[in-house]
Amino acid sequence: MREAGSKGSGRFRAARLDLGSFFFSGLTGLATFIILAMLAVILGNIIGQGGSQLSWRFISGGTRHDMFDVQQAGVLPMIVGTAMRVILMTIFVLPVGVITAIYLTEYAHPTSIFTRIIRSAVNNLAGVASIVFGLFGLGFFINFLGRNIDAALHRTETLWGQPALVWASLTLAVMTLPVVIVATEESLKAIPPGLREASLALGATKFETIRKIIFPQALPGIMTGAILAISRAAGEVAPILFTGAAYYMAGLPHRLTDQFMDLGYHVFILSTQSPDIEKTRPILYATVLVLLLLTFALNLVAIFVRARIRKKMRLMH
Amino acid sequence: MAELPVTKISVASALAGRSPATGQGNPMLIETEALSLYYGQAQALKQITFGIREKVVTAFIGPSGCGKSTLLRCFNRMNDLIDNVRIEGAVRIGGEDINDRSVNVIALRKEVGMVFQRSNPFPKSIYENVAYALRLHGMRNKTELDGMVEQSLRQSALWEEVKDRLQTSALGLSGGQQQRLCIARAIAIKPQIILMDEPASALDPLATARIEDLILELKREYTIIIVTHNMQQAARMSDYTAFFYLGELIEYGATAKIFTSPARKQTEDYVTGRFG
């Protein structure tokens, strides 16, 4: 029984402690800490060991004679090769991915068997190991497409039917297609249905509605897809192993049919093919750092483009 | 009658303030004949036959789910967008069956504009919102566009408020302004008919009053059909009122008659606020 006027009857004292929340918040904090700590160790190690090796000569020079020698190594061909394959991939993957996503959300019947087949194909594509894409690229793009192009052009020596920048980029585009499709679809679905109705009710055709109302709204989401695709593709080595990456090239790639040197592949070469790993280690660290910086820079470009679009959407002229 | 519902008094006062129904001699513009509509198996409209006169305001009233919005969307074929919709009977506008295969839905929607319940301006500038449909239908000349944008914004009583910021985002406008912009957007291409699906239900009383004034202004040039849940609004605005219940047209006639001496018991119960 409570007595009137008594101070602190204890009514509001906890009957049971919320131990679950206590432990759970601790657990989530720990998980966050582990992730941050791992990132810090990786980045710290790479920046610490690789940063001192970075020099203008290293970044802007090609490799002369011995790529495993610190005095001679330069990564410009790999920077150019990696940047080119990522940019080409983006050019290939965006139109196909965006058009597919528009078809799936705006045109396809949501429950038809055909739509479901496309959707599960996209999902399965996302789950395929990247080395399989490499083999696919070799089999389809080079051995089938490339050789047939050569045959059609009556070429006596092989030009298209061999590993090349264009085939590596296309292989990466196939690999990153699901990312772009899903990101674009999400942004299309987030557009209020009222906008479509408003446009159609004004006598716009479906195509006009998509072109003038829906697509501009989806642009930031499409750029998010591009950013994810770039992040995924920039560091991948497996898909380009058989489709375009060269162990060593004297010059920079000039044509779509040229092979190219690649930062990620070069890291693999440095760590497995070096005659003296101790001597090569500084180059290895510096190359990894350059790869991270390049990926970051490419992402930054896409993020910058997206910010521009968003700003333009807010101001609107 | 033991209790006199509040609604009846306010509806009466709403009716008192206005002139008797206009447009009694106007010709029929929209006619439906045994119009039935099915969503899959469910029948949403049942054998609706009636006619709507030109250049008057016609209100559709009735409880939620009675089919009034569905019927409204039959007039510009917005139901085409929904799967599994089947329509029987006929809708004629100016004597032409709009569900005929020869009818181009784009051309139809140019003549039959629509304003939605939730204002849905495009995320573009105020100017571009109004110019959108003008451009769609082929107007390219800048001077012409400027003129039509201004005229439409004046007609929708928005010009004075936005003339200095035509190039700013339409999303920066208040809810009531956005809805008036949607009306400006709809009338820019000079439709014959404007369909309004609860155009003021999401607005505050002041903004609602402005929309209502606007509708009364617009009916000089346009045939307006307005779906509303607000009895006073129907009484204030409309010349004719149609009461729907469970997909049927229960009663249709001059607004004053529907609200003061309805022929059907169901209508009386609804307009006096006894159900719905």
Which CATH number fits the domain that encloses residue A196? Answer: 1.10.3720.10
* Domains of chain B, residue spans: 6-121+176-271
Positions of chain A with pLDDT under 70: 1-8, 64-65, 315-317
The per-residue pLDDT for range B72-115, each reduced to its tens digit, is 999 999 998 888 899 999 999 999 999 999 999 999 999 999 99
C-alpha dist (Å) from residue B192 to B92, B115, B223, B225: 14, 14, 6, 11
The per-residue pLDDT for range A105-144, each reduced to its tens digit, is 999 988 889 999 999 999 999 999 999 999 999 999 999 9
Closest CA to A301 of A201, A227, A215, A241: A227
Q: Is residue A39 part of a domain?
A: no
List the domain range (segments joined by +) for residue A115. Answer: 70-315
- Chain A residues close to B186, C-beta within 8 Å: 201-202
Residue A192 contacts residue B120 (beta carbons within 8 Å): yes
List the beta bridge partners of residue A9.
none
| Cβ-defined contact of B109 to A200 (cutoff 8 Å) | yes
Number of neighbours of residue A307 by Cβ within 10 angstroms: 12
Residue A123 contacts residue A177 (beta carbons within 8 Å): no
- Give the chain B residue whose CA is nearest to the CA of A107: B81
- Based on the number of CB atoms within 10 Å of its own CB, is A234 exposed (0-12), middle (13-18) or buried (19 or more)? buried
Q: Which residue has the higher pLDDT, A13 or B125?
A: B125
Q: Is residue A15 part of a domain?
A: no
Residue B130 contacts residue B152 (beta carbons within 8 Å): yes
As a 3-state breakdown, chain A gives helix, strand, coil percent values, each rounded to 5, of: 70, 0, 30
Three-state secondary-structure class, residue B14 = helix
Q: What gap in Å lies between CA A260 and CA A82, rounded to an integer?
A: 8
> In this predicted complex, what is the ipTM?
0.89
| Cβ-defined contact of A202 to B109 (cutoff 8 Å) | yes
Closest CA to A143 of A157, A161, A131: A161
Q: Is it true that domain B6-121+176-271 has CATH number 3.40.640.10?
A: no
Q: Is residue A139 part of a domain?
A: yes
- Chain A residues close to B81, C-beta within 8 Å: 197, 200
The per-residue pLDDT for range B139-169, each reduced to its tens digit, is 999 999 999 999 999 988 899 999 999 999 9
Residues contacting residue A54 through CB under 8 Å, at least 6 positions apart: A286, A289, A290
Q: Does A202 touch chain B (CB under 8 A)?
A: yes
As a 3-state breakdown, chain B gives helix, strand, coil percent values, each rounded to 5, of: 40, 25, 35
pLDDT above 80: residue B128? yes
pTM over 0.90: no
- Give the chain A residue whose CA is nearest to the CA of B73: A201
Q: Is residue A58 part of a domain?
A: no
Q: Is residue A10 part of a domain?
A: no
Q: Is residue A79 part of a domain?
A: yes
pLDDT above 90: residue B186? yes
| Cβ-defined contact of B78 to A197 (cutoff 8 Å) | yes
The 3-state secondary structure of A252-316 reads CCCCCCCCECCHHHHHHHHHHHCCCHHHHHHHHHHHHHHHHHHHHHHHHHHHHHHHHHHHHHHHC
> How many structural domains is chain A composed of?
1
| Cβ-defined contact of A203 to B125 (cutoff 8 Å) | no
- Give the chain B residue whose CA is nearest to the CA of A106: B81
pLDDT above 70: residue B135? yes
Closest CA to B123 of A41, A149, A307, A219: A219
The β-bridge relationship of strands B223-227 and B85-93 is: unpaired
Determine if residue B138 is left, alpha or beta; phi over 0 gives left, psi from -120 to 50 gives alpha, anything else beta. Answer: left
Closest CA to B156 of B87, B210, B101, B201: B210
